[in-house]
Amino acid sequence: MSDSAISPQKHRINGREMRAADFWRFITNQALRNESERLKSIHEGHSPTLFLAVRDTFLLQDKQVEAVLGVSVSTLHRRRRDGKNLNAVASERLDRIAIVSHLAMQVFEDEPAATNWLSRSNEALGRMAPIMLCGTDIEAKQVRRLLHAMACGGAA
């Protein structure tokens, strides 16, 4: 097989891996910020390219991205193209995803394991994938409670 036949697939995989690495850098940065700094970044708006990082990290479909971020994918693409940040609602949801993902990383001590847990339906969460429960603060609290219980030896 020639290199040109492999190249497009390699490019997609590398792009996906790079965006996933960007996502984990984002969550680490968010976790290092205090609440005032996080609030400021939410009000300023996060980069719309982060939706691609979330989508690629958790292998989400467009409808799932729209549900968890509360904004249409076409709007996300338009904001990205126009160089405009996300609004405070979508930015707060990204912050929630970052905080939950950081906690999952602490519990599992491994990015792939944390990503896998966040992406799969969970019986304790009504058979929902934990990542899909970051749209509201109450749902994210349920995920955080479960992760804290797991860290203390509770059920997964």
Q: What is the per-residue pLDDT for 137?
A: 94
Task: Give the whole-angstrom CA distance, residue 68 versus residue 89.
Answer: 11
pLDDT tens digits for range 99-125: 999 999 999 999 999 999 999 999 999
pLDDT category at 11 given cuts 50, 70, 90 is: low
Task: Give the whole-angstrom CA distance, residue 130 versus residue 125.
Answer: 7
Could you give the C-alpha distances from 71 to 1, 57, 75, 85, in angstroms and in order? 42, 18, 7, 13
**Mean pLDDT (the chain, rounded):** 89
Which residues form the domain of 39?
Answer: 3-151
Q: Is residue 156 part of a domain?
A: no
pLDDT tens digits for range 44-69: 999 999 989 999 999 999 999 999 99
- 66 burial via Cβ count (<10 Å: 0-12, 13-18, 19+): middle
For residue 141, is pLDDT > 80?
Answer: yes
Domain total for the chain? 1
Whole-model pTM: value is 0.85
Helix (H) or strand (E) holding 49: none
Q: What is the per-residue pLDDT for 15?
A: 80
For residue 2, is pLDDT > 60?
Answer: no
